Structure 1
Amino acid sequence: MTQKVREIMTGPPVTVGALTAVSEVAHRMRDADIGAVLVTEGERLRGLVTDRDLVVRVMAEGRNPDDTTAQEACSDQLVTVAADDDVLRAVQLMRKHSLRRLPVTDGGKPVGIIALGDLAIERDPTSALGDISSTPPND
């Protein structure tokens, strides 16, 4: 039997509205100890903002984090996987699009995120990435 994405994804995801200031996005990342949040409009998934997006698209450009919205900072080419898809499908999408994190949807609604670390823990827990990903973060 093949393993489904919902079995290894991290969920529920942290979400923010499209017009949320990226300063608030950063606070949510810090408070939840995560590196990405999903951007929504109503129940519709609009994008993904990563900690790297905040650095490259906001800080490095000299933009004010209180005046820049999540929509302005998020990745515009959104790739998703369904919760009931096989894990192999997620791996293929992540390879094809060079993704570290992949939003997971169920009926079009965001339900989680699958990250490289999730895959490493599940598929090769003794690898360096699997070991690092399963270790609690430094405080």
Structure 2
Amino acid sequence: MAQQVRDIMTDTLVAVEPLASVREVARLMRDEDVGAVLVTEGDELRGLVSDRDLVVRVLAEGADPDRTTAVGVCSEAVVTAGPDEHLSRLAERMRGHSVRRVPVVDGGRVVGIVALGDLAIERDPESALADISAAKPNR
């Protein structure tokens, strides 16, 4: 059984520059089949845009998706983890901060991301969340 964040993190990152439009972010989410896109400037993590951010901060507000930038709607106070962090500690922090996705940062550089589903597959493989998370996308 995996014990560290590095054992379950996804190291394929989907990221945009801060001034990318939220339409571009939404298209990346669709094309890459992800629910969150990192906002980075060089190697520096500036924030994270989730599918919920798009709904609440763009659609519900009637904002123009071509003129609204990723940095304008991203969650900037992002909870992060280190690759050597123990999974039980990560689970506690995710619960405590009510977050579903956590970027993994090593030496100030983003090296991966862990989603709640990744944690469920590892920690409780028989759960409904693990089963749903492991299923193929239904495009």
Query: Between Structure 1 and Structure 2, how many residues are aligned?
Result: 139
Q: Give the secondary-structure state (helix, strand or coil) at the position aligned to 1:111.
A: strand
CA contact (8 A) 2:2 2:8 kept: no
Q: Give the secondary-structure state (helix, strand or coil) at the position aligned to 2:25.
A: helix
- 1:127 aligned residue: 127
AA paired with 1:99? Answer: V
AA paired with 1:23? Answer: R
- 1:84 aligned residue: 84
Cα deviation, residue 107, structure 1: 1.0
Q: Give the secondary-structure state (helix, strand or coil) at the position aligned to 2:111.
A: strand
Task: Please list, as runs of the form range in 1=range in 2, the aligned pairs for 1:11-30 lying within 5 A after superposition.
Answer: 11-30=11-30
Report the Cα distance in structure 2 between the residues aligned to 1:2 and 1:104, rounded to whole angstroms.
16
Identity of aligned residues (%): 62
Unaligned runs of 5+ in 1: none
- 1:40 aligned residue: 40
What is the RMSD of the two structures over their aligned residues, measured on CA atoms? 1.3
Task: Please list, as runs of the form range in 1=range in 2, the aligned pairs for 1:100-111 lying within 5 A after superposition.
Answer: 100-111=100-111
Report the Cα distance in structure 2 between the residues aligned to 1:138 and 1:57, rounded to whole angstroms.
26
- 1:60-112 Cα offsets, whole Å, 9 max, x none, are 10000000000011012211001111111211110110011111111111111
AA paired with 1:56? Answer: V
Report the Cα distance in structure 1 between the residues aligned to 2:104 and 2:34, rounded to whole angstroms.
16
Report the Cα distance in structure 1 between the residues aligned to 2:11 and 2:103, rounded to whole angstroms.
10
AA paired with 1:105? Answer: V
- 2:71 aligned residue: 71
CA contact (8 A) 1:9 1:113 kept: yes
CA contact (8 A) 1:2 1:86 kept: no
CA contact (8 A) 2:58 2:73 kept: yes
Q: Give the secondary-structure state (helix, strand or coil) at the position aligned to 1:82.
A: coil
Q: Give the secondary-structure state (helix, strand or coil) at the position aligned to 2:105.
A: strand
AA paired with 1:70? Answer: A
TM-score normalised by the chain length of structure 1: 0.96
